[in-house]
């Protein structure tokens, strides 16, 4: 077997082993040392002797400091590394780097559903919004009836989705931070994949009343002349006698929306109508070498095509904050990045942890020693374009907020995906190295494998294999273009593996406020 190692920057004194199954001790690396230890796939090998206390460099940055002298050819695992402190949020370079302008990409289109507010859906879904967890069982029952009895009559509707969640009551709803889960629910209800149709199922006595979740004026009227009032089914209404009558009410209201959704057709729209959220989960050391750089290349293509691309995951960008603030389009954008990450630092401090609480046992088994190394590999998903906007958690992008956006969210896969849905995402890209069957009911999720071994074993779960980059079969540029074209296909209706298997995870709200 030809030994294959990957080094990210010429300053690096470690490289990662790319071979499936790793490499045994005694392997001579081409132009490098002989391995003194067995090094698992994705893990780091010292390319030269590293004295105690010296920086261990990957991506050209110190991902840690050697706790003891490390000989060339040693496996450099987490126990040998002291993690550097997080960069202070004062004195950062603000909007100092202007990336070289790139020519616009013209002529790329997809087939989407144009909404009354001008946004575009990639799917035509009926969403049933809920104000409180109490109604979830009833809504799940109604959903099955809608699927079985109604959807066959409305063939142009792609599906029905329940927006259920654990919020709505038993919470300190007037606490300042409660604004985050409340606006998240409001904005998810208005996601472009729901066609501007909003129907709500409420219990009646809950703290989060429908009018608080969706105040008058938040919903674009689907068709001129129609009643713009909020469509609410309240289970505690006296008109409801028995469970069956609640289900009848939900089905009756669902029909009204299905009629309108069913009249919609896909039309050719420019690629600039894409609002793509990217994130990673179940990461390994290949994430930052194969899949995330390919996503970054595709992100640049999307920006050049006039589209919107969001990257998120606060704890995975915190150690790269200098890269973000310097790449901000304006000092105001840089200040907004500092404001969001500073708020998040304080949020973590309240729980007596910091960004290092992010890494998982699987990350470490996959070769990621600590959050600094993980962050350097995560941030490359954002590509190289200037950061044009910053979005606080649960907020929705305005139509004029295009380009590269930092949507500040936790890195938790479900919370990040939920907040990106609220931001107006109509397409999701998810990279994984360890493997996760992650999916969302409200939006197609394109999953990108970081390793060929994972792509082979999970052949009917991974939509794209970026492991081809580590194998030497494809360049980052080729993978980036492949992803860009796949995104246009999926936006036009091609179903992802998760959609084919109907896999989806729960919506999970970010609620930093107290419960009662
Ligand atoms: Ca994540």
Token readout for 464 is 């794209």
pLDDT bucket at 498, cuts 50 / 70 / 90: very high
Q: How many Å apart are CA 135 and CA 237, to the nearest integer?
A: 13
Q: How far is the CA of 406 from the centre of ligand 1 (A)?
A: 14
Give residue 224's pLDDT band: very low, low, confident or very high (50, 70, 90): very low
Half-sphere exposure of 193 (CA within 13 A, CB side): 31
**pLDDT reported for residue 223:** 47
225 pLDDT higher than 80: no
**Ligand 1: centre distance to CA 378 (Å):** 9
CA 62 to ligand 1 center in whole angstroms: 23
Q: What is the pLDDT of residue 222?
A: 46
d(CA 179, CA 382): 27
What mean pLDDT is predicted for residues 91-109?
Answer: 94
Model pLDDT, residue 313:
96
| Per-domain residue ranges of the chain | 125-263, 268-501
Tokens of 167: 């919020």
**Model pLDDT, residue 98:** 86
Q: What pLDDT is recorded for position 62?
A: 93
- DSSP secondary structure letters along 181-249: HHHHHHHHHT-GGGTT--EEEE-SS-SS-HHHHS-TT-S--SSTTS--S-EEEETT-TT--SHHHHHHH
CA–centroid distance, residue 479 to ligand 1 (Å): 21
Question: What share of the chain has pLDDT > 90, as a percent?
Answer: 91
User: Tokens standing for 298?
Assistant: 């595709």
Q: Which tens digits make up the pLDDT trace of 429-472?
A: 999 999 999 999 999 999 999 999 999 999 999 999 999 999 88
User: 114 alpha carbon to ligand 1 midpoint, in Å?
Assistant: 30
Over residues 390-402, mean pLDDT: 96
Q: Render pLDDT for 243-296 as a digit per residue (tens, 0 to 9).
A: 999 999 999 999 999 999 999 999 999 999 999 999 999 998 899 999 999 999
Q: What is the length of the chain?
A: 516
For residue 237, the CA-to-ligand 1 centroid distance in Å is 40
pLDDT of residue 100: 85
Whether the pLDDT of residue 221 is over 60: the answer is: no
User: Could you tell me which residue, 220 or 335, shows the higher pLDDT?
Assistant: 335
pLDDT mean over 79-91: 93
The answer on pLDDT for 44 being more than 90 is: yes
* Residue 165 and residue 127 in contact, taking contact as beta carbons nearer than 8 Å: no
Cα(128) to ligand 1 centroid in Å equals 26
H or E element that contains 419 = helix 413-423
For the cut 90, the answer to whether the pLDDT of residue 67 exceeds it is yes
How many angstroms is it from 58 CA to the middle of ligand 1? 21
The secondary element (H helix, E strand) that includes residue 319 is none
In this prediction, residue 185 carries a pLDDT of: 98
């Amino acid at each position: 077997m030809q030994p294959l190692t990957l080094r990210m920057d010429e300053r690096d004194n470690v490289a990662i082993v790319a071979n499936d199954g790793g490499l045994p001790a005694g392997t001579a690396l081409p132009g490098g040392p002989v391995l003194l230890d067995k090094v698992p796939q994705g893990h780091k090998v010292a390319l030269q002797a590293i004295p105690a206390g010296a920086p261990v460099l990957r991506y050209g940055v110190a991902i840690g400091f050697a706790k003891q002298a490390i000989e060339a050819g040693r496996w450099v695992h987490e126990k040998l590394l002291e993690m550097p402190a997080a960069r202070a949020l004062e004195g950062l370079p603000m909007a100092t780097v202007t990336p070289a302008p790139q020519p616009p990409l013209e002529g790329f289109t997809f087939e989407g559903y144009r909404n009354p507010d001008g946004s575009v859906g990639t799917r035509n879904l009926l969403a049933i919004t809920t104000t409180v967890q109490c109604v979830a069982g009833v809504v799940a029952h109604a959903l099955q009836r809608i699927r079985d009895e109604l959807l066959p009559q409305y063939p142009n509707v792609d599906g029905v989705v329940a927006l259920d969640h654990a919020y709505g009551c038993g919470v300190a709803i007037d606490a300042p931070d409660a604004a985050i889960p409340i606006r998240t629910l409001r904005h998810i209800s208005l996601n472009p994949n729901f066609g501007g149709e909003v129907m709500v199922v409420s219990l009646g006595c809950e703290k989060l009343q429908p009018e608080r979740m969706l105040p008058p004026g938040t919903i674009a009227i689907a068709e001129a002349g129609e009643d713009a009032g909020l469509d609410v089914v309240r289970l505690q209404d006296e008109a409801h006698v028995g469970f069956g009558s609640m289900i009848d009410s939900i089905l009756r209201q669902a029909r009204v929306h299905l009629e309108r959704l069913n009249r919609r057709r896909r039309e050719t729209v420019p690629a600039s109508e894409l609002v793509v959220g990217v994130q990673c989960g179940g990461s390994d050391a290949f994430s930052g070498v194969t899949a995330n750089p390919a996503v970054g290349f595709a992100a640049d293509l999307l920006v050049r095509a006039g589209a919107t691309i969001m990257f998120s995951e606060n704890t995975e960008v915190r150690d790269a904050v200098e890269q973000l603030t310097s790449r901000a389009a304006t000092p105001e954008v840089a200040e907004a990045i500092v404001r969001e990450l500073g708020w998040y630092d304080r949020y973590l401090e309240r729980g007596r942890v910091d960004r290092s609480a992010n890494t998982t046992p699987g990350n470490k088994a996959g070769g990621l020693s600590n959050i600094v190394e993980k962050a350097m590999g995560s941030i490359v998903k954002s590509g190289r374009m200037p950061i044009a906007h910053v979005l606080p958690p649960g907020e929705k992008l305005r139509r004029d907020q295009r380009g590269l956006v930092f949507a500040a969210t936790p890195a938790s896969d479900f919370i990040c995906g939920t907040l990106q849905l609220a931001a107006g995402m109509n397409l999701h890209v998810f990279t994984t190295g360890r493997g996760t069957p992650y999916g969302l009911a409200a939006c197609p999720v394109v999953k990108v494998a970081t390793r060929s071994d994972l792509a082979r074993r999970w052949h009917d779960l991974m939509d794209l294999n970026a492991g081809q980059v580590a194998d030497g079969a494809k360049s980052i540029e080729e993978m980036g273009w492949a992803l860009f074209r796949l995104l246009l296909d999926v936006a036009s209706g091609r179903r992802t593996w998760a959609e084919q298997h109907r896999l989806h995870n729960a919506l999970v709200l970010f609620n930093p406020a107290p419960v009662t």
